[in-house]
A and B are shown apart, each in its own frame.
Chain A
Amino acid sequence: MKLVLHAEWTKLRTTATTGWLLLAAVALTVMVGVLATSAVTCPTGGCGIDPAKTSLTGVYLGQAVVVVVAVLAIGGEYGTGMIRTTFTAMPHRLVVLGAKAMLLVGLVVAAGVVAVLGALLVGRPLLAAHGHLVLSLGAGPVLRAAVGSVLYLALIALLSLGIATAVRDSVVAIGLVLGLLYLFPIIGGVVVDLTWHRHLEQIGPMAAGLAVQATIGLQSLPIGPWAGLGVLAAWAAGGLLLGGLVVRLRDA
């Protein structure tokens, strides 16, 4: 396992795009957070905005970059044919997939911590300047939102890796994952039936997973913060399972 990890780490590290993309994920997450928090200028100080959630709006954008990183981690190998060399050198394909997953989670968690902390720290004074009541970083709900957002990004990476392994093509995988993430809530938005609308928010990977960012109005959420992250974890596990099955049974 150590050898496989080392080999996979070398591949990830020496691919020119990985570092730049992770840097872009951090920069975009913080930037959108700054834009969103400076735009919330309601004089009454309330207007129903969740301060932590608004500071972390950038996760909506940052996750797209994480999807690209995770898809390219295996899709790039299928694109160039490198995957055949990889599997010749390491015939235990599931071990290869596991090594890729572990390294990806490590990288995404590292980038996610920087991005989430940056967004929260930059957003605080901006929101406070507009008269919003902002909890300190150490407060329970804010800490949950921060840790949850980092875990959210890691789970998105695992889901993307699984789907990319299953379809063996970067472009198709990115279209599928981003479609799953972004279109679920758009479709849910126009469903008139309230019960169905609620169910869609409970099972959608993004809507459920990002419930963990809520720090106010927890009673009115369609799904609890940690339960929502659990739903996303189930999606990620499903994606990885599918990818694992396909890579095990099919030619590379």
Chain B
Amino acid sequence: MPGGAGVGVAITQPLLGTFFGLIAVAMVGAMFIAAEYRRGLIRTTLAAHPRRGQVLAAKAVVLGAVTFATGLVAAGFAMVVGVAHLRANTPVDPIGVGTEVRIVVGTALLLAVAAVLALALGTVLRRGAGAVAAVIVVIVLPYLLGELPTVLPANVQAWLLRITPAAAFAVQQAYPSYPQVDAQYTLIGGYYPLPPWAGLAVLCGYAALAVGLATVLLRRRDA
């Protein structure tokens, strides 16, 4: 039973919808700039405000704030309603309020940073299609390969969840893993190789790199 070390079901199961939300915010983020390129509005935007770095920064702030707020409402709702529903049917290992808040806020941050990553890739590629595909491939695919049991050996799976943007899902880990307890600390049980905030920091690092590249390209290239 995928409850990990305990007896119950992983308390973060109601947050499975994060993946759907992730694809949605990736679309929003990529289209936020790619739609301007497609319609030619970007030329008006950059003519009205020639400091291109500021345009991108403003877009990132607005997008990040909107997706964070949406994610906060969605994750909070999913946790409260979902966990209550779980408790009514199965035994669930309890977690502290602090952990619960970290999971909800962390999930909202994950969505916001993923949206900014999509915005940056959309700026680099100037096409929504490529940017959305790229975001899904770098975040969802490593998670999937880390979860599937027969494709890659366990040590490779653990590295995938350390060095790719998929590491960010560590922020949803509900129960600590103890080195002295010999349990199955697998992804399906809700265990990740990195600590929660370190995992999110990996995604933030990639997003920062992408935003940096996007700023340089936006400044140098014709619109």
Write the residues of chain A forming the contact surface with B, with a CB cutoff of 8 angstroms. Answer: 36, 39-40, 42, 47-50, 53-54, 57, 60-61, 64-65, 67-68, 71-72, 75, 79, 170-172, 174-175, 178-179, 182-183, 185-187, 189-190, 192
Inter-chain contacts of B26 with A (CB < 8 A)? 175
User: In the complex, are the beta carbons of A182 and B136 less than 8 A apart?
Assistant: yes
User: In the complex, are the beta carbons of B137 and A175 less than 8 A apart?
Assistant: no
Q: How far is the CA of A47 from the CA of B155 in the complex (A)?
A: 12
User: In the complex, are the beta carbons of A47 and B129 less than 8 A apart?
Assistant: no
With contacts A40-B156, A68-B133, A183-B19 taken as known, whether A54 is within 8 angstroms of B147 at the C-beta atoms is no
Inter-chain contacts of A179 with B (CB < 8 A)? 19-20, 23, 136
Q: How far is the CB of A25 from chain B (nearest CB, A)?
A: 12
Q: How far is the CA of A61 from the CA of B38 in the complex (A)?
A: 27
Inter-chain contacts of B137 with A (CB < 8 A)? 61, 64, 178
B34 at the interface (CB under 8 A from A): yes
User: In the complex, are the beta carbons of B136 and A186 less than 8 A apart?
Assistant: no
Query: Which has the most chain B C-beta neighbours within 10 Å: A53, A61, A183?
Result: A183
User: In the complex, are the beta carbons of B153 and A60 less than 8 A apart?
Assistant: no
With contacts A64-B133, A174-B132, A178-B140 taken as known, whether A190 is within 8 angstroms of B27 at the C-beta atoms is no
Inter-chain contacts of A39 with B (CB < 8 A)? 152-153, 155-156
With contacts A64-B137, A186-B144, A192-B2 taken as known, whether A48 is within 8 angstroms of B150 at the C-beta atoms is yes
Closest to A57 in B: B151
Indicate the size class of the contact surface on chain B.
35 or more
B148 at the interface (CB under 8 A from A): yes
Chain B residues 115 to 142 lying within 8 A of chain A, measured CB to CB, are: 128-130, 132-133, 136-137, 140-141
Write the residues of chain B forming the contact surface with A, with a CB cutoff of 8 angstroms. Answer: 1-2, 9-10, 13, 16, 19-20, 23-24, 26-27, 30-31, 34, 38, 128-130, 132-133, 136-137, 140-141, 143-145, 147-148, 150-153, 155-156, 188
User: In the complex, are the beta carbons of A174 and B38 less than 8 A apart?
Assistant: no
Inter-chain contacts of A75 with B (CB < 8 A)? 129
Q: Please name the 6 residue pairs, one residue from A and one from B, whose CB atoms are nearest each other, closest first.
A: A170-B129, A171-B128, A39-B156, A178-B136, A182-B140, A64-B137
User: In the complex, are the beta carbons of B9 and A192 less than 8 A apart?
Assistant: yes
Inter-chain contacts of A170 with B (CB < 8 A)? 128-129
Given A64-B141, A174-B132, A189-B148; 14 other pairs, CB 8 A cutoff: A39-B156, A42-B153, A54-B152, A61-B137, A61-B141, A64-B137, A67-B133, A68-B133, A174-B129, A175-B132, A179-B136, A183-B23, A190-B13, A190-B16
